[in-house]
Amino acid sequence: MSRTETLTWIQDIVAETVFVDTHEHLVEESRRFSSRSDRLLPCDDWALLFRDYLQQDLDCAGMGAEDKRQFYDPEVSPLDKFKIVSPYWERVQHTGYAKTFSITIRELYGVKSFAIENIEQLASQYQDVRKPGLYERVLKEVCRISECHVNSLERIFMETAQPSLLRQDLSIMELSRCSLTDIKNVESELGVQIGSFDDWLAAIDLYFEKFGNKAVAVKYVGAYYRALNFGHVDRHVAEQQFTTLIAARPFIGSEGAQALEDYLFHYCLRKAQEYGLPVKLHTGYLATNDSMPLGRVRDNAVDVCLLLQTYPNIRFVLMHIGYPYQDEYLALCKQYSNAYVDLCWAWIINPDACVRFLTEFLVSVPAHKILTFGGDFIVAENIVGHSVIARRGIAESISALVDRRWIDRGAVPELVTRLMQLNANELFPKARAA
Ligand SMILES: [Zn+2]
């Protein structure tokens, strides 16, 4: 077989294999059909597809606040939206985020390219596809995804209407951070009153009691605002900080907040361990503009060593391959038996880096320690483009190793199944009957 024939053969196997999608932020499907526009869903037309993450490239390419406001304004016409975005589109069109969009509109809507003559078709196709049954259609039929893990951005644990399709993470970020807003949200979600530190710990216990057996994993995204260097803090110190916090003296200072969170994070990890739940940690690149403290991001890999050592019985999923420090994550996964890495989101941040990463991973780390797909989207349609890029990347990585005769042709089908579904099925708890 020639190089091209090998690639085509592997691409066909990958295309036929069903993915387990280990990371999305999908809102409940019914929420897509309510007319209100808000922070998560600013509009309900094709511009919504730009929200994650293409908008960040547009921002980086100079799109200003007023252009952005108009672009997501439900009252602005499709043609005017195109005119607003096209100067920036011209600059970003070759990035992974933009390719995701181009592939999505082609595969899902039959729109050949993002061009002025296709805008009416794009506008009407968006509405045609956006109908009840959207998630089944996009995930199962178009993307060949059996189930996806959802980290709700609206609830600590989302009791979904589609539990077998949208398996849910239990978010421990709010439970660890414990700000006054978090306390208020927990009070309203659980219908409890929080007056003391014991009440807060009891609330954490209650989340695990109620949802620990339904959750697919716990998720912590605190790396957006802090280092992953969780100290071991005495209970009385944490309790003191908590008491200061709720005594309407909201400024306990960053040190006080960190001590409280350190204590609570460890408390949540012990609960996760008790329930046998893997712990997903955001590591690496941040979905922000003009604000990422790269030094702290770089230290994520160093900081998680202590967690991996402290909790040998917890399986940690290091998300987004810690990009752009992915080499360190190869070393972590090779060294620590409880370290797993997830390519979620990373395929579209830097598709070429991910192909190299997967090739290097396969020749250096046991193959069961990698999860190969998560779109990381609020808007389901975007999963189409992202999953195509991921499938392409997986095929390219493996075929490079087959060409070099590092991997035998005969081992390919089993390896593809392992990477795309078996690893997730082995690592995460099975869905329980409702
Ligand atoms: Zn995410």
Of 388, 339, 379, the residue nearest 50 (C-alpha): 379
Class of domain 1-43+134-150+283-434: alpha beta
375 CA to centre of ligand 1 in angstroms: 8
DSSP string, 401-417: HHHTTSS-GGGHHHHHH
**What is the arithmetic mean of pLDDT over 127-144?**
98
116 CA to centre of ligand 1 in angstroms: 32
249 CA to centre of ligand 1 in angstroms: 32
346 CA to centre of ligand 1 in angstroms: 11
Q: Work out whether the CA dihedral 375, 380, 386, 391 comes out positive or negative.
A: positive
76 CA to centre of ligand 1 in angstroms: 29
Q: Is the pLDDT of residue 434 over 60?
A: no
Confirm whether pTM is higher than 0.95: yes
300 CA to centre of ligand 1 in angstroms: 16
290 CA to centre of ligand 1 in angstroms: 19
CA dihedral 103, 104, 108, 112 (to 10 degrees): -50
422 CA to centre of ligand 1 in angstroms: 22
pLDDT in tens, 83-105: 999 999 999 999 999 999 999 99
23 CA to centre of ligand 1 in angstroms: 6
220 CA to centre of ligand 1 in angstroms: 10
Radius of gyration of the chain (CA): 22
Of 329, 351, 349, 340, the residue nearest 287 (C-alpha): 349
215 CA to centre of ligand 1 in angstroms: 16
234 CA to centre of ligand 1 in angstroms: 31
Q: Is the pLDDT of residue 433 over 80?
A: no
pLDDT in tens, 255-279: 888 999 999 999 999 999 999 999 9
376 CA to centre of ligand 1 in angstroms: 5
pLDDT in tens, 156-206: 999 999 999 999 999 999 999 999 999 999 999 999 999 999 999 999 999
Whole-angstrom distance, CA of residue 419 vs CA of residue 398: 11
Q: Please answer whether residues 213 and 275 qualify as being in contact, where contact means their C-beta atoms are separated by less than 8 angstroms.
A: yes
How confident is the model at residue 122, as a pLDDT? 98
Whole-angstrom distance, CA of residue 129 vs CA of residue 148: 20
- Per mean pLDDT, which range of 14-18, 251-255, 390-394 is the poorest? 251-255
Q: Please answer whether residues 381 and 24 qualify as being in contact, where contact means their C-beta atoms are separated by less than 8 angstroms.
A: no
